[in-house]
Amino acid sequence: SAVISQKPSRDICQRGTSLTIQCQVDSQVTMMFWYRQQPGQSLTLIATANQGSEATYESGFVIDKFPISRPNLTFSTLTVSNMSPEDSSIYLCSVEGGVTYEQYFGPGTRLTVT
């Protein structure tokens, strides 16, 4: 499976600010995704990061709040904008492994908004 890294691994931010999270993969992948895991809960998909076009957002998530870039097949960023304490969560990127639809996750970014 691909090796996936995320930066930063954790951050503490003030409300009203924005944070950009980076996801780097060691091989080219077609499908990249961004998930959120709120404390004590399961994972929820935020959006699919499409290379060369706008991201596809799930219901309840909007581009103004979570802008995503995907400049190439090995890299993506997720920005959490105008943060509030409710945005405190773990943000994870994932990639699809290939024909079997299996997904592999990065180590996550633990965000705390004060």
Binding-site ranges for another protein (CB under 8 A): 1, 31, 33, 41-45, 48, 58, 92, 94, 96, 100-108, 110
Q: Which CB atom, from 3 or from 15, has the smaller least distance to another protein?
A: 3
Least separation in angstroms between CB 31 and another protein: 5
Q: Are 50 and 40 in contact (CB under 8 A)?
A: no
Least separation in angstroms between CB 59 and another protein: 12
113: Cβ contacts below 8 Å, ≥ 6 apart: 12, 13, 14, 15, 83, 84, 85, 86, 87, 88
Least separation in angstroms between CB 17 and another protein: 24
Q: Are 109 and 8 in contact (CB under 8 A)?
A: yes
